[in-house]
Structure 1
Amino acid sequence: MSARGVLGALLLQMLPLMLNPASAVAGLRWLRMEEPRNFGYFVGDTLQRHAYILVDPDDTLQAASLPKPGAVNYWLDLVSVEVRESRAQGGKLYRVTLVYQNFYVPLDPRKLTVPEWPLQLGGGSAVIPAFAFTASPIRELFPEKSGETVDTFLKPDARAALVSAGWAPHGLALSAAVALLTLALLAWHYAWWPFGARPDRPFTRAARKIAALAGNAVATANYRAALLALHRAFDAAAKRRLLADDVDGFLAQHPEFAACRAEIAKFFQSSREVFFGGSVAPLMPLDAVETLAAQLSAAERTR
C-alpha cells in the first residue's frame, strides 16, 4: 500500500473522534478534585486528596489502574489509597482518596508538585491532575546572622500560664447549698431526722414503728403495740383521745383521710375486740394495720 493509502486509512479511523471528541472519554461524565491547602507543609506532614469521578452506570473504574502505596519519588510517599463507590445522578460515583506524606526538607520555602495519575475506565480514561504545594523549612540554618548563637537560638520553654478558675468555686458553693436545701426539704417532707418528731406527722411516725414490728402475730404483744401506735397517731392528729364513735367527726375535720374510712372503722372494731373482747382472731391482721398506717402517712403528707 502506498503512503497516500496508509494516510487515508488513518484519517478514516480518526474521523469519528474528530466529529465527536467526547467519545475519547466515553463513560466519563466529570472528574472533580477536593484538594487540601497548598501551603504550610513541613517534613513529615500528610496531604489528603479526594478525586470524585462520575461515570455511566454500566462503566467501571479499573482497580488495576489505581496507584499503589509506596514511594512516588525520593521526597514523596503515597501512604494509602481508598476507593468508595456510590450512586449519584443516574450513574456511578467513585471517590478516590489519596494520602501522601512529604519528606522534603527545604532550606527555604519551596514549591513542590504531586504528579498527575492516569486512571482507566471500562469505556475511557481519566486523569487525576497534579497538585502543587509549598513546603517550608522547620528552622533557620544560620542563627548567628541574626545576632544569636547556637546556644541561645533555641528559646526556653514558656511557662505555663495560670488558668483562672473564675466562677467555678462560687458555682460549687452554690451547687452544694442547693443540694443541702433540697435534702432538707426532702427530709421535712418524709419526716426524716431531725424532722421525724414534729407533731404534724403522727401517722408517719406510727407507720415507721409498725413497719419495724416483726412477724404477723395476732393478739400478741407486737400486734397490741402496733394497735397502740396507730391509736396514739389518731390521738395526736385529733389533739384528743379519739374513740370509735368520734371517727365521723374526725374525718369531717380531716377530709384527707376520708378515703380510708372503711379501713379506719375496721381498725377501731378490731382494736375493741382485742383489748376489750379478748378476741384471738381480730378483723384486721398486723399486715393490714401496717398498710392502713402507710396509707394514712401518705395522706397526711398531702396537707
Structure 2
Amino acid sequence: MALAGWVAAGAGAAQLEAQTHDPRAFGWQVGDMVSRTVTVEVPEGLALDDASVPQPGARGRALELRSVTRRDGSADGGRRHELTLAYQIFLSPREPRTLEMPSFRLRFQGQPRVQELLIEAWPVTVSPLAPVEVSYRHGLGELQPDTAPPMLDTAPARHRLVAYGAVALLLLAYLAHVYIGLPWWTRRHRPFTLAWRQLQGLTPSSSPEQRRDAYRQVHRALNKTMGEVLFEQDIDRFMEMRPRFAHLRADFAIFLQQSRHEFFGEGQGRADAQWLLDFCRRCRDAERGSA
C-alpha cells in the first residue's frame, strides 16, 4: 500500500508542468520592455502559493521587474495559471552584454505533498546605443556642437512692456500733477498773490484811476478769500473764518475806511500808495502762512 501511494504521488507530481513563452534573446536596448509568459497546468489537489509568485518593486537592477499579470482559469483535471512578467532594461552598456531574466520557483500547497516548480532563467542580450568608436564626421563623435537656442516670438512681451510703460507714465504724470502741478498752480493763483503782482506798478505818482484799480484788486482778493463780499461789519466773522489774518484786523479796518473814502469821499484821508502796497504784502504773507 505504501508503494502504491508513492507511485500515485509520483504520478501526480509528473502532471505538474510549465510552458514558457520567452522573448527573443538579442536586439534589446536600454528602456525596452521585455516580457515572458509562464503557463502552469496544476492538477486537482494542489493550489498555487501566492507568496512564491515574483513581486515587482526591486530597484537598482539592470533588468527590473515592472509588473506581474496573473490570469487564472480551469483546465482538464485541474487549474491553469498564466503569469506574464514584464521587465524593463535599465542598462546601457558600451558593448553588447547578456543579462538574465532570473529564475524562480513556484510553490504549490496540497496533496499528496508540497511541490515546487523551477522556472529557468532566460538570457537577454542588450546592445549599446552607439558603438564605442564612431566616425568623426559631422554629427558624430564624443563632442557635439551646441544646439542653437529656439527662436521665441518676443512681440507679445514687447507689447506688454510698452503698455506697462504707458501706464507708468500716466501714473507719474498724475502724481506730478497732484503733488507738484496743483500745489504750484495754487500758490501762483492765491488771491493776494495775484493782487500783489497787480500792485507792483503802483507808485505815489500813480493816477487816481490806477489807485482805484489797486483798491479793486485788493477788494477782489478779500472777497475771494472770504467767499463773499467783505464789509466792515464782517471783519470779525472774517477773522474767525481765516484766523491766519487775525493779526491784521486793524489793517483791515483801515483799508476798508480808506477804500470808502477813495470811492465815496467818506471817512479819513486817503492812504498813500506805499501803505496799500505794504498792506497787500502783509496779506500775501499771511495767506502763505509765513507771517
Give yes or no for TM over 0.5.
no
Q: TM-score range by the shorter chain?
A: 0.3 to 0.5
Alignment TM-score, normalising by the size of structure 2: 0.42
Alignment TM-score, normalising by the size of structure 1: 0.40
